[in-house]
């Protein structure tokens, strides 16, 4: 389980707190979606979880272990990060994804490592890209490779910052479906931000709405309603149910 307890953070001594006693809990294998306006602190929260920033107060634990107290290597084994825009250097697609397994192999990748990478490339429809240089790919294609690499890592927790931002609709769906399948098959937790509320509803098991530096609303899809969305995003929406799935319509600024 991932737990953030009363986490606070600010960028500069004189600046305001961006996180002000934020708490959340995500069970192993659950997909949690962090929702909030631009600038509400989603990336800041992720960077605190990843150890890129250290919280000023509070605790972040994975399986009860305080993440501030474990080594960088252990943290890298347990948590994979897919940032908004990733740079790989001049590597082939296959090698870039294989690098995700570096914490699994010692000096040399084994046959299992190669097989795992081949399977992920196949599942994500990337096999024809395997020998191409990542540098020569579009932003959206690179995003897919970044997600493939995070999957190859088989971490306990994957953190996605707007994973579908650069992708077209078909690739968005593919990524979300693959990530969801993997989370369930391998019991990996995912914490992700997503702009699109309908995608969020389809992808997530649990929703965390950020406002004023805290998680103001948390829970399953039952907590996603018109009032919560109005309070957090300042927009008016209508929610209907189609085939048992909530669908959000509209989204006009008040």
Catalog residues that contact ligand ADP under the rule CB under 6 A: 11, 18, 36, 38-44
Nearer CB in complex with ligand ADP: 39/244: 39
> What is d(CA 214, CA 234) in angstroms, rounded to the nearest whole number?
17
- Min separation Cβ 155 and ligand ADP, Å: 21
CB 166 to ligand ADP: min, Å: 16
State which residue, 42 or 101, has the beta carbon closest to ligand ADP.
42
Which residue, chain included where needed, has tokens 């307890």? 5
Q: Are strands 65-66 and 57-62 parallel, antiparallel or unpaired?
A: antiparallel
Give min distance, CB of 81 to ligand ADP, in A: 14
Q: Which is nearer to ligand ADP, 86 or 247 (CB)?
A: 86
Q: Which is nearer to ligand ADP, 30 or 43 (CB)?
A: 43
d(CA 237, CA 113): 46
CB contact set of 80 (below 8 Å; sequence gap of 6+): 100, 149, 150, 151, 153, 155, 157, 158, 159
Could you report how far apart the first and last alpha carbons of the chain are, in Å?
38
Please report how close the Cβ of residue 43 comes to ligand ADP at its closest, in angstroms.
3
């Amino acid at each position: 389980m991932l737990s953030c307890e009363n986490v606070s953070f600010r960028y500069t001594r004189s600046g305001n707190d961006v996180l002000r006693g934020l708490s959340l809990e995500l069970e192993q294998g659950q997909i949690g979606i962090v929702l909030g306006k631009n600038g509400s602190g989603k990336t800041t929260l992720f960077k605190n979880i990843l150890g890129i920033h250290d919280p000023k107060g509070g605790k972040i634990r994975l399986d009860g272990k305080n993440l501030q107290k474990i080594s960088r290597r252990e943290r890298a084994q347990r948590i994979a990060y897919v940032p908004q825009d990733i740079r790989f250097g001049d590597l082939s697609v296959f090698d870039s994804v294989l690098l995700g397994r570096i914490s699994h192999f010692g000096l040399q990748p084994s046959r299992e490592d190669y097989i795992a990478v081949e399977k992920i490339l196949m599942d994500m429809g990337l096999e024809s890209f395997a020998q191409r240089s990542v540098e020569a790919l579009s932003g959206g294609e690179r995003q897919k490779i970044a997600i493939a690499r995070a999957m190859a890592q088989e971490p306990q927790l994957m953190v996605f910052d707007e994973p579908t931002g650069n992708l077209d609709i078909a690739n968005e769906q593919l990524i979300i479906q693959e990530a969801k399948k993997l989370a369930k098959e391998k019991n990996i937790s995912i914490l992700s931000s997503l702009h699109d509320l309908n995608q969020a509803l389809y992808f997530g098991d649990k929703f965390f709405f950020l406002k004023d530096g805290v998680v103001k609303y948390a829970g399953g899809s039952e907590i996603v309603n018109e009032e919560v969305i109005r309070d957090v995003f300042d927009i008016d929406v209508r929610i209907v149910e189609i085939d048992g799935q909530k669908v959000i319509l509209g989204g006009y600024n008040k």
